[in-house]
Amino acid sequence: MIQATFLGHSAVKLSDGQTTILIDPFISGNPQATITADELGADFIVITHGHGDHLGDTVAIAKRTGATCIAPYELANWLGTQGLTAHPLGDGGSYDFPFGWVKFTIAHHSAGAGELGDRYVGTAAGVLIQFGDRLIHHAGDTALKYDMKLISERFKVDLAFLPIGSNFTMDIDDAVRAVEFIKPKTVVPMHYNTWPLIEADPEDFASKVNRAGHSKAVIMAPNDTIDL
């Protein structure tokens, strides 16, 4: 069984009891986090883009655990210069790992790294993760885009994490349309209420999704876990 744990903002932990995959592990300085980065184990860390609220504690966690970092090409190269094991992926590219495969999807977003003076560190991505027999989609930071339909034309997503906080990403109504495009079995809102700029009501998102009836919206509080 795959377990998905929401860690607050856009940070997610996936585990099957043997392999642990972290996505965008922003814990230190994350007002929503209820754990510390030291408590997290990891075999793989997927980073959607270089912004600090996604790159987060990647370097410290990967140094401690020896986890392989899966990131956009330029960001992977930079992680390599930090002494980490990094696997580069391009937009649309996929690769088979021991646990399943990882495929980057297109995100419409910028991708400098604040820690590096907003230096460009590759494009921003979303990600599809085939973990065992479950398919998880984490959209990263993105605008709404018609390309999201390509995902449901080819794949059946079991669980999707979509940003709803607006200002930097989709707002609630855009994210409701994204759910129509992606057609996940279950969808979880993320990237909201971390700071005043991205205030949003997840109940509003959930009621709109659940009224449409195609997907089930679940609001996860930090440290909530879903069994897949």
To the nearest whole angstrom, how small is the minimum distance from the Cβ of residue 26 to Mn ion? 8
To the nearest whole angstrom, how small is the minimum distance from the Cβ of residue 211 to Ni ion? 29
| Cα distance between residue 102 and residue 123, in whole Å | 16
Q: Which amino acid is at 95?
A: Y
Residues 181, 183, 184, 190, Cα dihedral to 10°: 30
> Are 26 and 53 spatial neighbours (Cβ–Cβ below 8 Å)?
yes
User: b/e string for 23-59 if b means 16 or more Cβ within 10 A?
Assistant: bbbbbeebebbebebeebebbbbbbbbbbebbbbbbb
Stretch that binds Mn ion, among 13-21, 45-53, 77-85, 192-200 (CB under 5 A): 45-53
Total residues contacting Ni ion by CB under 5 A comes to 2
To the nearest whole angstrom, how small is the minimum distance from the Cβ of residue 168 to Ni ion? 6
Please report whether residue 24 would count as binding Mn ion according to CB under 5 A.
Answer: no
Nearer to Ni ion, 33 or 121 (CB): 121
> Are 114 and 51 spatial neighbours (Cβ–Cβ below 8 Å)?
yes
Give the residue from 126, 149, 148 showing the smallest Cα distance to 72. Answer: 126
Please report whether residue 24 would count as binding Ni ion according to CB under 5 A.
Answer: no
> Of residues 119-158, which lie at the interface with Ni ion (CB under 5 A)?
141
Nearer to Mn ion, 2 or 33 (CB): 33
Please report whether residue 51 would count as binding Ni ion according to CB under 5 A.
Answer: yes
To the nearest whole angstrom, how small is the minimum distance from the Cβ of residue 181 to Ni ion? 21
Q: Which backbone phi and psi does 3 adopt, to 5 degrees?
A: -115, 130
Q: Cα–chain-centroid distance for residue 21? A: 11
Of the residues 24, 141, 158, 171, which one makes contact with Mn ion according to CB under 5 A: 141
Nearer to Ni ion, 143 or 218 (CB): 143
* Contacting positions for Mn ion (CB under 5 A): 53, 141
Interacting residue ranges for Ni ion, rule: CB under 5 A: 51, 141
